[in-house]
Every structure is written in C-alpha cells, then in structure tokens.
A and B are shown apart, each in its own frame.
Chain A
Amino acid sequence: MSQLLLIDWVLITALGWLSIGMVGVAFPRNFILNSRILYPLGAVGGLVLALIALTGIFASPQIRILPLGMPGLPFHLRLDALSSFFLLLLGTASAGISIYAAGYLRKGDGTAPGLQCLLYHVFLASMAFVMLADDGYAFMVAWETMALSSFFLVTSEHRHAEIRRAGYLYLLVAHVGAVGILLSFGVMAGVEGDYTFDAMRDFSSHGFWPTIAFLLALFGFGAKAGILPLHIWLPEAHPAAPSPVSAMMSGVMLKTAIYGMLRVSFDLLHAQIWWWGVLLLLLGLATALFGVVFSAIQTDMKRLLAYSSIENIGLIFLGFGLTLIFKSFMLPHLAALALTATLYHCLNHAFFKSLLFLCTGSVLHATRERNLGKLGGLIHRMPWVTWLALIGVLAASGLPPLNGFASEWLLLQSFLFTSGLPQGYLNMLLPVIAGAVALISAFAGFTMVKFFGIVFLGQPREEKLTQAHDAGRLERIGLLWLGVGCILLGLFPNVVIVLLDPVTRLLVGSGLRGTAGSHGWWLLAPISQDRASYSPAIFLGSIVIFMPLVYWAVKRFYHGRLKRVPAWDCGFPLQTARMQDTAEGFGQPIRRIFSPFFKRTREHPSPFDSQPRYLSIVEDPFWYWLYLPIAKIVERGTQLIAFLQQGRIALYLLYSFITLLSLLVLTRG
C-alpha cells in the first residue's frame, strides 16, 4: 500500500486499544498506571476513532484484506458509511466512558485492574472489528470475542453467586445467538459457500431462503439486542457489571446488534419483503412496551435502566421495521426518514443511557447502594451528578429540546406520513402504533421521574447517605462529555441528519439532506416546512430567555425575600424520611394497571402482625413460560440418554455386539 487509508487508521486505533490492554496486563497490579494513564489513553483512542469515522462517513468504501484468518478466507475488512457511523457512535461514547472509567476505577478485590484494563480494551477493539468485518468468519470472530470479553467484565465481581449466574446466562444467550448468526451467514453464502460479504451481496438467493436468512439473523442479533423474548439476560447482566461496563454494553454493544441487523437486511439481502417489516414492527412494539412497563416497577436502579434499554431497543426496532416496510414498497424517501430516525435514536440512546449508567456508578460509589428504597436526597451531596443525571433523564423521557425528543419526533413523523401504502391494513395499523409509541415515550417519562426523584430528590432514606461524596474530576469530565453530547445532539438535529445522509443513501438509496438541509441549521423540517417542523434552538432559546426575564421581573417589581422553615407536616407531627414514597410505592399504580404483565408473589401483613412485613416480588414471566420449560426438556433428554450408561460391562458388550450384527446385516442385505 502506498499511503495509509482511513480504514488503516481505524485498524491502527483498534490495535492501539489492544496494545493499551497489553501494557495494562503486563503490570496487572499497578493501579496508577492503569487508571491514570491507560484509560485516558483509551479515551483519546475513542476520540481519534470518532474523527476518522466522521471523515469515513463521507468517504467512498475502502477495503483491506489481512493475511490472517482461515485458509482461503482471510480477514476481509471494509469501511463504508454504515460502519463509519457506528464507529463514530463507538468512538464518541467510549471516549466519555473511558475517561469516566479512569476516575471510577478503585483499588478493590475482584479482577486485577490490569486484567480489567485488558478486557475492557479488547472489548472496545472487538466492537470496532465487528463494524469493520467484511466476511462471515471475521465477523464471527470479532462478535464472539466481544461477547467473551464483556462476559469477563460482567463477572469481574465473581464472588457473588448471582453475578456468576448473570454472567452464565449472558454468555449462554450470546452464544446461542451467535449460532443463529452463523447459520444465517451459511444460508446467505448459499451453494458456493463463499463467506465474504461481497459474495453474499452478489449471491441472489430466491424463494424462501432470504426469509430464512433474515429470520435467523433476527434471532441472532435479537438475542444480543435484547428483543423479546431473548431479553432475559439483559436485566441480569447490566446490574452485575461495573458501571462503565454496563454503560458500554447498554450504550454501544446493543447497537452492534442493530448494525448487524441493518447490514444483513439492507446490504446483504437485496429484496426486502414487507411483512419482515411488520414482524419487526410488532416485535419492537412488544419489546418496548414490555421494557418500559418493567422498568417502571423496578426497585434496583441499574435494573431499571436495563429495562429502559430494552424499551429503547424496542423503539429502534420499530423504526427499523418501518424502514423495511417503506423500502419494500419502494418509497425511498420515507424509508430514509424512518431510517434516519432509527439511527438517530441509536446515537441518542448511546449518549443518554451511558450517561445515566455512569451516574448510577457514581451513586454506587458514593453510597454502596443500588436499591432505590435506600437512596434519596443526593442532590444536596452530589450536585454535579444530579444535574448531569437530570439532562440524561430529560433526554431519556423524550422531552424537548434534548436529543431523545428529536429522534422520537422524527420517528413519529415517519409514522404519520404513511398514508398511501398499498396495504390497507398497514395504513390502519401504523398510526395506531404511532399512538403506542407516544404511550411508550410518555411512560418512559414516568419511569425516569421515578428514577431521578427517588435517587436524587427528597430526604436521604438512610443515615449513611449524608456522607455521600460527589464524583471525582475525571468522572465529571466523562459525565460532562456525555451530557453536553445529549444537549448538542438535541440542538442541532440537521447536522446529524447531514451525517446520516450517506448512510441512508447507502442502505435505502435516498437521504434527507436535500429537504432538511434547505432550512438552515436551526430548523428541522424533514419533508417540508408547512408539513412538519421543529426548531430546538428557538425552543431552548425562548425558554432560556423567558426564565431569567420572569425571574428578573419578579425580583424587580416585588422582592426576593426568602425564609427557611421546616416542611409543612400537614398536621402529622413526626414526618420521617421513611414516609416518602418508595420505589415500590411509586410503581404501585403501574403494577395495578398492568398486572397481567407480571408474575408476582406478594405477602400482605395481617392487621395483627407484631412486625408487619410487606413483600412484593415481581418477576419476568418469560422466565417461567419459556426458559424453564426448555431447561426441563433438556433435563428429560439427559435422563433418557443416561439410561444407556448402566455400568454393566455385559450391557456394554451387548451394545457393540448388536451394532456389529446390525451393520453386518446392513452391508449384506
């Protein structure tokens, strides 16, 4: 090669990450080196990657073939707009998370910091390779390496049995999913059995084969993304992992599944069938609804966020399905709109969800407490984390002018402009689903208010919380990075749309740049101005002008006098912190309304209990309806087969004897 292409730079960055990990594992116990030097270096790597990807989005696709890998199938790598976009996501998010992790890392038992450093950076690098891979084998290797490294990160506190269980469940589901992906590649490789993506692109399979490939890929990537009913690992693994890792997994790793799904269904498969889209739509709807309902009733803050990730994945898949439908009905512009909304939401979710997870990390460090029922009033002790968390919360509940709203707005728009599909039912269905999306986002608002209000507001529910300390400097930098990201992404949607334009052109052959760009950076009008428009800048601007104005006016014409008094006790003399609404209490209406969703076991105290206890456990029904039965079936199978192994030598001899005779008869007859 004469000069280094962009793809080489991506490779160099990934290798840089790997080498950082190597250095770390070379000095496993050297705390200062790992936390103060290596992780920040990793963050720099993230920034570099983001810059490369930024240019890569607009560059033409580039290809490299490494002299590694399988005989006859060396590692093919390819950098196009799609992979660049997801690399951008990876780089930007990981930059914030790594710098946070540098501050977050503490001297403690569990995995040695050096080893953790290695695993973390292998995790990053493997995700980068997933985006780059251009043949089935390289993809699988990167994919499984990603799963493995994240598994070890999840189980870094492996002394606790439940964390081991979570890790086991996670790796198991990941592995099964990987099998699905492998099979899907196998189907797409077809009779030639050439596993390069190029060959798959050229290979025009017909009949039901594309559908089978699509369904297998959906299974595989759905398992990683946490689509119903394969979400089971997600709420277990996220709380188990250290917070930067949960941020990484929820913010970025889930998106690799989206990437893979996009790659398969738009790039590798040519003809999309409309009911694929409907399937995705319904799956996404179910997932989002399930996720948000369950996140509303959680009492563990990281579990709450994990379920909310499931919800967001559901929303993303909704957009995805819509894109498929439009694409299959040859409506490229609408497809571009829906796809833009989808990808935009991926980016936003990466930012606000990582932000929130990192905030829980700081809370965890300050209080050693994950249970919502034991937190509260942290705004006084840790203002930084609180206000940054507020940004994340507002974004997550899809409120203007933050980024969450922008993508959901686009999503709703793409739902609203559907009239005119050849499928009458779809025309009916889609607006109703739009209503459901509205319900989900409003519900997310409920959940987020619960999360924020109970963790940060009110009075401290425990004595120790009054000693809580705010996040350290490095942690603040990380949080700030992500928070500011949320705001900027919310304020300049057109910039993002321009970024997404090449991607949508690549996948669905159309883009929003022409229409959206025409109104200047401040006005977002994907179709046309009098049809729908939204300008977060004016929005925020007017609020920002208005508030001080009112403040000043009140001060100016009246007074700013203020007295501190005890809170009004409504005539109940002793008001303790325990009387505040607990997480269970806040979720109670939801438990009541959506009771069919849950599998709950509850104990009510009788009026005569000397020490009344109220117990209410809400569990995931899928575990009981789906997973345990499967386990039972396998168990039964083992029992049947184990019957062969009786321990009697005569019996064993009989086996070989019968085998011999039957084979002889077989050959003769």
Chain B
Amino acid sequence: MNFYALFAQLLALVTALILAPILNGWVNQCRAWMQNRTAPPLLQTYYTVSKLLHKDALLAHNASSLFRVAPYAIFSCLALASAIVPTLSTELIFSPAADAIALVGLFALARVFIALAGMDVGTAFGSLGSRREMLIGFLAEPALLLIFFTTSLISQSTSLSTIVATLAHRDFVIYPSLAFAGVAFTMVSLAENARIPIDNPTTHLELTMVHEAMILEYSGRHLALIEWAASLKLFAYSCLGLALFFPVGITEVADPVSLAMSGVILVMKLAIGGFMMALIETLSAKMRIFRAPEFLGTAFLLAVLAMLVHLLLESGK
C-alpha cells in the first residue's frame, strides 16, 4: 500500500461523512419542490444531528446494554461500508479487506443490529418494525448479491475495485445485463433506504412505519448517530449505483489532481442521482407491506434475468 492509497482512502471516508447528510437534504429538497412545498434547507440533516447531539439521551427503563451499543455499531458499520465503496478512486487500502459480498454482509450486520435494537425495549411497535425490516432485508439482500454477481461475472472478480475498474475503463461495450441489473439495483436501494414505495421516511403513523418504528425509542446522541448512519447508507448505495452503472470519472491512480477531478464529477452525479430518486419517490405511492415481497421479488427476478442475459449474450460461449 502506498501513501496515496491511504490518502485516497481517508479522503473517501471524509467525503462520505460530509456529503452523506447533504445528499439526504438534497433529495428531500428536490422532493419538496416537486410537491410544491417549501423545501427544508440543504443542510437540514446537519441541524437535526447537532440538535440531537446536544439533547440528553432518554433511555427506557427496560432498555439493555445492547440497545446502547447498537447505534455505535450501526454507525461504524455503515461508515466502513461507505469507505469500501469506490467513490473517488479504485485504489483503496480497504478494497482487499472486503469485496462485494463482504459489503453486503456489512449492510446485513448493520440491519441485524438495528432490528435487535428495535426489539430490545419490548414495545409493540419496535418489534413490528424489526420484523418488517428483516422481511425486507432478507428479500433485498440476495437481489443485491445477484446484481453484484452479474457485475463480477462480467469482470471475473468480486472485488469492488476490480469491478469498477473494469467497468470504468472498458472500451465502450453495451452490456444489456447491466440494464436489468441497474433497474433491480434501483428497486433494492429504494427498499433498503426506507424510501417510498416500501417505506415512508417522513411518516410517523406507527402502523405504516418500518425504519422509524425501530428507532422509536431512540433519542439524543443515539438517534443522531442513527440518522447520520441512515444518510451514510443512502450515500453508500448511491455511490455504489453510480460506480457500477455510471463509472465515469473514477480514477485508478490516486494522485490529488485526478482525485479532485473525480470528486467534482461525483458531486454532479450525486446531484442528478438524488434528483432522480426524488422523482421516483414523488411519482410512486407507498405500497402495503405485503406488496413489498412482490416488489422485491421483481427486483430479485430482474437480477437473475440480468445474470442469465449476461451468460447468454455476453459470456461468449
């Protein structure tokens, strides 16, 4: 590992930590505009987080130590995840440490922790939320893995850096499989980030909540960490999608210039991506929880289709 790699890694991490809440705010803003509402400020997430950090943490009597550990665990998992995803450069220290599968595992780890935390206090809504979260999770996770499989079949590797590198620096070939994979990925990331049509991040009607229901008991710094972690997750997913399906501008070499270059490109891509996401959320309506399996099942099938398409059309045999 050379110095640049270390630098790039740190840079990627910091970028993630900084940009994530902004991306969240940006999406909300776009959505507000489209719905003719006055938009919250771009940095709203920062405000919320710092406000929560200043507040006291209220803890239910029944809350256990696991309940208190969970936020830190979730935050660090997702931070690590967003560090693994090649946002600016593909030359990262962590890239050998975790490939695509491990990344999915990391997301799953975070999910398990938040679900357990939801069940910990023992209110009706917490466990309800955890159940739904796990349901969505175990349907979304394999879809995500299958998407990765498609890409790794293309690039004969499961290491993210290699995948992105091959995808970014190929001479221009049309991969129909990637189209399917892309659609599937969008659906999965909507579901995973508690977005409409699966979940409504802004709702507080208990019976429709999923993510919010789990974190109902959290407050103060714990809630702050979780919010931040949520935005990190969104960021990681977006970057992942961009890196896989629009890998333009991600450098292989980690020298400052190209890093800055790719940073700019990244911001632009994120802006567009966030807008698209807001668009989707506005155009679609939230579905009943038992429609969710069908939704994710479709995503899973699309992913399978993508792989088959690859094997049929592109594997050359």
Q: Does any Cβ of A come within 8 Å of B180's Cβ?
A: no
A452-B116, A457-B120 in contact; A550/B225 too (CB < 8 A)?
A: yes
Q: Which of B80, B149, B161, B290 contacts A542 (CB 8 A)?
A: B80
Shortest CB-to-CB span from B64 to chain A, Å, is 5
Q: Does any Cβ of B come within 8 Å of A554's Cβ?
A: yes
Shortest CB-to-CB span from A593 to chain B, Å, is 5
A439-B142, A453-B127, A550-B225 in contact; A534/B97 too (CB < 8 A)?
A: yes
Which of chain B's residues has its CB closest to A561's CB?
B56
Docked-complex contact A446 and B96, CB < 8 angstroms:
no
Interface residues of A in 347-403 (CB under 8 A from B): 376-377, 379-380, 383, 386, 390, 394, 397-400
0 or 1 for each of B108-149: is its CB under 8 Å from A? (1 = yes): 110110011001111111011011101101110110011001
Q: Does any Cβ of A come within 8 Å of B262's Cβ?
A: no
Shortest CB-to-CB span from A260 to chain B, Å, is 31
0 or 1 for each of B2-28: is its CB under 8 Å from A? (1 = yes): 000000000000000000000000000
Q: Does any Cβ of A come within 8 Å of B248's Cβ?
A: no
Shortest CB-to-CB span from A650 to chain B, Å, is 70
Interface residues of A in 432-456 (CB under 8 A from B): 432, 434-436, 438-439, 442-443, 445-446, 448-450, 452-454
Q: Which of B63, B138, B141, B225 contacts A554 (CB 8 A)?
A: B225
Shortest CB-to-CB span from B20 to chain A, Å, is 14
Shortest CB-to-CB span from B181 to chain A, Å, is 12
Docked-complex contact B58 and A575, CB < 8 angstroms:
no
A539-B98, A550-B75, A581-B131 in contact; A446/B137 too (CB < 8 A)?
A: yes
Docked-complex contact A534 and B308, CB < 8 angstroms:
no
Docked-complex contact B73 and A547, CB < 8 angstroms:
yes
A458-B127, A459-B62, A562-B59 in contact; A530/B162 too (CB < 8 A)?
A: yes
Residues of A within 8 A of B79 (CB): 546
Residues of A within 8 A of B300 (CB): 435, 439
Q: Does any Cβ of A come within 8 Å of B37's Cβ?
A: no
Interface residues of A in 311-348 (CB under 8 A from B): none
Docked-complex contact A457 and B304, CB < 8 angstroms:
no
The answer for the CA separation of A525 and B75 in the assembled complex, in Å, is: 28
A439-B142, A550-B75, A551-B72 in contact; A400/B217 too (CB < 8 A)?
A: no
Docked-complex contact A586 and B159, CB < 8 angstroms:
no
A435-B142, A577-B122, A580-B127 in contact; A400/B54 too (CB < 8 A)?
A: no
Docked-complex contact B146 and A438, CB < 8 angstroms:
yes
Chain A at the B interface: mostly helix, strand, loop or mixed? helix
Docked-complex contact A397 and B112, CB < 8 angstroms:
yes
Docked-complex contact B124 and A581, CB < 8 angstroms:
yes
Q: Does any Cβ of B come within 8 Å of A566's Cβ?
A: yes
Docked-complex contact B102 and A539, CB < 8 angstroms:
yes
The segment from B150-158, B187-195, B270-278 that touches chain A is B150-158
Docked-complex contact A535 and B57, CB < 8 angstroms:
no
Residues of A within 8 A of B250 (CB): none
Q: Which of A386, A457, A567, A570 contacts B119 (CB 8 A)?
A: A457
Docked-complex contact B56 and A563, CB < 8 angstroms:
yes
Q: Which of A443, A565, A568 contacts B123 (CB 8 A)?
A: A568
0 or 1 for each of A566-582: is its CB under 8 Å from B? (1 = yes): 11111010010101110
Interface residues of B in 62-78 (CB under 8 A from A): 62-66, 72-73, 75-77
Residues of A within 8 A of B161 (CB): 530
Residues of A within 8 A of B73 (CB): 543, 547
Q: Does any Cβ of A come within 8 Å of B221's Cβ?
A: yes
- Chain B interface extent, by class: 35 or more
Q: Does any Cβ of A come within 8 Å of B42's Cβ?
A: no
Residues of B within 8 A of A111 (CB): none
Shortest CB-to-CB span from B272 to chain A, Å, is 30
Docked-complex contact B57 and A435, CB < 8 angstroms:
no
Q: Does any Cβ of B come within 8 Å of A431's Cβ?
A: yes
Q: Which of B64, B137, B216, B317 contacts A445 (CB 8 A)?
A: B137
A457-B119, A459-B62, A550-B76 in contact; A570/B96 too (CB < 8 A)?
A: no
The answer for the CA separation of A420 and B105 in the assembled complex, in Å, is: 28
Which of chain A's residues has its CB closest to B77's CB?
A543
Number of A-B contacts (CB under 8 A): 264
Residues of A within 8 A of B145 (CB): 412, 434-435, 438
Residues of B within 8 A of A589 (CB): 131-132, 135, 289-290, 293
Shortest CB-to-CB span from A5 to chain B, Å, is 43
Q: Does any Cβ of A come within 8 Å of B101's Cβ?
A: yes
Docked-complex contact B307 and A567, CB < 8 angstroms:
no
Docked-complex contact B122 and A377, CB < 8 angstroms:
yes
Shortest CB-to-CB span from B67 to chain A, Å, is 9
Residues of B within 8 A of A539 (CB): 80, 97-98, 102
Interface residues of B in 197-218 (CB under 8 A from A): 206, 216-217
The answer for the CA separation of A559 and B56 in the assembled complex, in Å, is: 8
Q: Does any Cβ of B come within 8 Å of A648's Cβ?
A: no
Give 10 A-B pairs besides A448-B112, A542-B97, A577-B122 with Cβ atoms closer than 8 angstroms. A379-B120, A399-B108, A416-B153, A453-B116, A457-B66, A565-B58, A570-B123, A581-B124, A588-B131, A590-B135
Interface residues of A (CB under 8 A from B): 376-377, 379-380, 383, 386, 390, 394, 397-400, 405, 409, 412-413, 416, 419-420, 424, 427-428, 431-432, 434-436, 438-439, 442-443, 445-446, 448-450, 452-454, 457-459, 523, 525, 529-535, 538-539, 542-543, 546-547, 550-551, 554, 557-559, 561-570, 572, 575, 577, 579-581, 585-586, 588-590, 592-593
Subset of 27 A-B contacts with CB under 8 Å? A394-B109, A398-B105, A399-B108, A427-B315, A427-B317, A435-B149, A445-B108, A445-B112, A446-B138, A453-B130, A457-B64, A530-B161, A531-B158, A533-B96, A534-B98, A538-B94, A539-B80, A539-B98, A542-B76, A542-B80, A542-B97, A546-B80, A547-B72, A554-B53, A567-B60, A580-B127, A588-B131
Q: 10 nearest interchain CB pairs?
A: A458-B122, A581-B127, A546-B76, A453-B119, A459-B122, A438-B142, A567-B60, A442-B138, A538-B97, A438-B145
Interface residues of B (CB under 8 A from A): 53-54, 56-66, 72-73, 75-77, 79-80, 94, 96-99, 101-102, 104-106, 108-109, 111-112, 115-116, 119-125, 127-128, 130-132, 134-135, 137-139, 141-142, 145-146, 149, 152-153, 156-159, 161-162, 206, 216-217, 220-221, 225, 289-290, 293, 300, 303-304, 307-308, 311-312, 315, 317
